[in-house]
Structures are given as C-alpha cells and as structure tokens.
Amino acid sequence: MALMEISVVPIGTPTPSIGDYIAEVVKTLEQEGAKFKLTDMGTIIEGDVEEILALARKLHETPFKKGIQRVITTIEIDDRRDKKVSIEDKVKSVMARLK
Amino acid sequence: MALMEISVVPIGTPTPSIGDYIAEVVKTLEQEGAKFKLTDMGTIIEGDVEEILALARKLHETPFKKGIQRVITTIEIDDRRDKKVSIEDKVKSVMARLK
Amino acid sequence: MALMEISVVPIGTPTPSIGDYIAEVVKTLEQEGAKFKLTDMGTIIEGDVEEILALARKLHETPFKKGIQRVITTIEIDDRRDKKVSIEDKVKSVMARLK
Amino acid sequence: MALMEISVVPIGTPTPSIGDYIAEVVKTLEQEGAKFKLTDMGTIIEGDVEEILALARKLHETPFKKGIQRVITTIEIDDRRDKKVSIEDKVKSVMARLK
C-alpha cells in the first residue's frame, strides 16, 4: 500500500487563482471512489501503486478538459512493502513520538 | 504571505522507518513557534518567504545532528502577492466550490 | 508530448550512496528503449503521458527488486498540448532568449 | 557541498509559454556568479546550503518583478556530508557503473 501526493497546476490561466481546477481534481477523486485527503499544497491519495498512478493519469487530464494548454503535475509516492500505511497513520506515528 | 511544504528525508538509515527524524522536524518547528501543519507527506508552514526559507534551512539540518550523512529535502513554496493565504484557506476555498 | 523528471529514492540503504539503484533505473530505461537524459538530480524522459507513467511504474519498482522495503519516488510532468516538446528544446529556447 | 534543483513557475501568465521567466532565472544566476546547469525541467545549482538557499530566495522573486502575482517554486536539495559532490559528478558516477 502506498501514499501519493499529487499537485496538478494549470499554466496560462487568466488569473492567479486556480481553485476551480483543484475542485475538478477533487470531484474526479470523489467520482472514482478514491480514498484521499485534500491539503493546502496538494491531495494525498492512498492505494496500490498501480491504482494511484491510474488516478494520477486521470487527474492530470482534468485542466486540459477545461481548455488549458499546459499542465505541470507533481507526484510524490511513498511506498512501503514492510508494513501497511494508510492516510493519517504517519501523522499519528510522529505525534506519538512527541508525547 | 506564502505557504511552504517541506519534506526532509534522511538517506542511509538503518531501517525504512524515518518517523524519528520527522519528529525532530516537528519539535524544531514547535521550538521556533512556527505556524505549521503536519501531513502524511510533509509539513506545511505559513509565513513570509524570508522566514519560511530560514526555517527550511534549520529543518534540513536536523537529521545531520542525529548522525545522518546525506539528506534530500524537498520544498514547495506557493506565494501569492494578490491576497493573504493562511493554512486551511486553500482547502476551505476548494471545498466551498464543491457545494 | 510531455517531459517527465523522475527521481527514485530507496529508503533504508546501508550507506548514503544510492548510485547502484540509479544505475538500475538507467538500465531499465535503456532496455525499454526510452528517450531519456540523466541529470545530477533525476532522469528526464520524453513521451506520451500514458507511456511515461508506465515507465514511472517500472522505474519505481527497481529498488524493491534489489531488496529495498521503502521507496520514495518524485515525478514531475510538464505536458503541453499547444506544441511538441522534446528533450533539450526547453534549454535551447531559454538560451536563445539570453543572446 | 550540496546540489539544488529549482523550478520557478509563474501562475496566471497570458500564455502557456514561460520561457521568458526562466531566462530571468538564468540571468540572475549568471549575475550572481553561481555554478549552475540548466536542464529541461529546472536548474541545478551547486554550493553550500546557506548559499543555495539565498539564491533560491532571489530566483523565486524574479517573476514578481515582471508583474506576476503568484509563483510556485519547487526546490530539491541533495546534501552529502561524507563527500564533496559537484555538478556532473553524480551522472559520471552512475555512468561508470553501467560500463
């Protein structure tokens, strides 16, 4: 099980606001039934590598569907094979160390 | 005002677990009185660019203090000059669009 | 046509040196017949989004095959639909502006 | 000695082309006398962490000087304390393993 953080950035938008495009990313994840968490800097998705890369492919496409001609997508995958990792596990594990 | 996401990754650790090093990052941010939020994939910090890059410098150093010889630090800065942005603002703004 | 930069980082290696794992990434790209360029900070690959994400999937797997239990892979995709972009095009385009 | 890769992306540009902004980044590095290498996906800079973060600060500011209101800057620092690393060293070291 892996976690992925993805950030889909449309280039050449009329204003500096890109919230509408991020909303499309979230809508797509809801339609796909993905397990995810929106943060201020991206979206964290949980799943098998195969599955989350297929989602990345779909999310990367969303701004093009709205007429954008260039998209820069940043993806980080944290994949452990020695234990199962779910959303919020890593935060909890670090917080427990601080007590 | 800008938001920064930072991820400090020690290379050459005895095990795949790096939670102790992330706990050091969080402790340092608490000592510095920074405004931050830990996520599963990094730490989001709010502040002036000057201030958050000075914090990045300190956080990057933490694994070396624990004997690590190589650190890969990833930083993303989202800086708007047309409006003030704080932690949770972007999440709220996107969620409002989905209603 | 898109460009992707990928960096595959094994976590929990015996030493801070990870060159052997990067060599595996390069070998895999050569076997796949990919169009790529190794830099000091990652590998830049040219292709359709579909194709480069399939390569990312394969490259992400290479450290696990050598016994590593955790891998952090960072991917950046720059995808333009208004013009064809190949490796070295962007460098040349920026350098031409500096003359 | 560390290597940094930096990518400075202006948001809300009139067209999808951002080469003019990247040219400003390169001009600034030349004026600063930095040791750097432009790639298709960013700029790789060599130096002490202190020094390269100061450069990152200056480079991040360049699009704002041209009227841009939002900039997303991505930075990756690879810092080794067990050996000196310069631009091209890592590429050479991996290529030597492939012979």
Residues counted in chain D: 99
- Which of A12, A16, A69 is closest, CB to CB, to D69? A16
- Which of A60, A70, A80 is closest, CB to CB, to C82? A70
b/e sequence B9-43, b meaning 16+ C-beta within 10 Å: bbbbbeebbbeebbbbbbebbeeeebebbbbbbbb
Chains within contact range of chain A (3+ C-beta pairs < 8 Å): B, C, D
- Which among A39, A73, A78, A90 is the top mutation candidate for probing chain B, defined by the most B β-carbons within 10 Å of its own β-carbon? A39
Binary contact (C77, A76; C-beta < 8 A): no
**Among all residues of chain B, which has the CA nearest to that of C8?**
B72
Phi, psi of D47 (to 5 degrees): 165, -175
Going from the N-terminus, what domains does chain B have, and what CATH number goes with each?
A: 2-98 (3.30.70.930)
Binary contact (D98, C26; C-beta < 8 A): yes
Please identify which residue in the block is written with the tokens 């160390």. A97
Beta-carbon count within 10 A of D31 CB: 9
User: What is chain B's Cα-based Rg?
Assistant: 15
Q: Three-class SS of residue C36? A: strand
Sheet holding D43-47, edge to edge: B35-38, B43-47, B2-11, B70-80, D70-80, D2-11, D43-47, D35-38
**Among all residues of chain B, which has the CA nearest to that of A79?**
B16
Q: What is the ipTM of this complex?
A: 0.96
pLDDT at residue A99, as a whole number: 79
Smallest CA–CA separation between B11 and chain A, in Å?
A: 14
Categorize the per-residue pLDDT at C99 as very low, low, confident or very high, splitting at 50, 70 and 90.
confident
Integer angstrom CA distances of residue C42 from A27, D28, D37, D94: 32, 24, 13, 11
Neighboring chain B residues of D82 at a CB cutoff of 8 Å? 69-70
**Among all residues of chain C, which has the CA nearest to that of B71?**
C16
Neighboring chain C residues of D44 at a CB cutoff of 8 Å? 39-41
Amino acid at residue number C67: G
Chains within contact range of chain D (3+ C-beta pairs < 8 Å): A, B, C
Neighboring chain B residues of C22 at a CB cutoff of 8 Å? none
When pLDDT is averaged across residues C40-59 and rounded to a whole number, the result is 97
Smallest CA–CA separation between B75 and chain C, in Å?
A: 12
**Among all residues of chain D, which has the CA nearest to that of A71?**
D16
Binary contact (D12, A13; C-beta < 8 A): yes
- Which of C49, C64, C77 is closest, CB to CB, to A81? C64
Residues B44 and A7: beta-carbon distance below 8 Å:
no
DSSP A54-80: HHHHHHHHHHHHTT-SEEEEEEEEEEE
pLDDT at residue A61, as a whole number: 98
pLDDT at residue D34, as a whole number: 97
pLDDT at residue D76, as a whole number: 98
The sign one gets for the Cα dihedral A37, B16, D73, B28 is positive
Residues C32 and C72: beta-carbon distance below 8 Å:
no
For D98, residues 6+ apart whose C-beta sits below 8 A from its C-beta are C23, C26, C27
Q: pLDDT tens, C72-85?
A: 999 999 999 999 88
Residues B24 and B10: beta-carbon distance below 8 Å:
no
The Cα C90–Cα B47 span in angstroms is 33
Q: pLDDT tens, A32-81?
A: 999 999 999 999 999 999 999 999 999 999 999 999 999 999 999 999 99
Would you write out chain D's pLDDT as a tens digit for each of its 99 residues?
899 999 999 999 999 999 999 999 999 999 999 999 999 999 999 999 999 999 999 999 999 999 999 999 999 999 999 998 899 999 999 999 987
For B85, residues 6+ apart whose C-beta sits below 8 A from its C-beta are B1, B2, B3, B46, B78
Residues B2 and B79: beta-carbon distance below 8 Å:
yes
Neighboring chain D residues of B70 at a CB cutoff of 8 Å? 78-82
Neighboring chain A residues of C80 at a CB cutoff of 8 Å? 69-70
Please identify which residue in the block is written with the tokens 């931050």. B36
Residues B60 and B42: beta-carbon distance below 8 Å:
no
The two structure tokens encoding residue A12: 């050449």
Alpha carbon B42 to its chain's center: 6
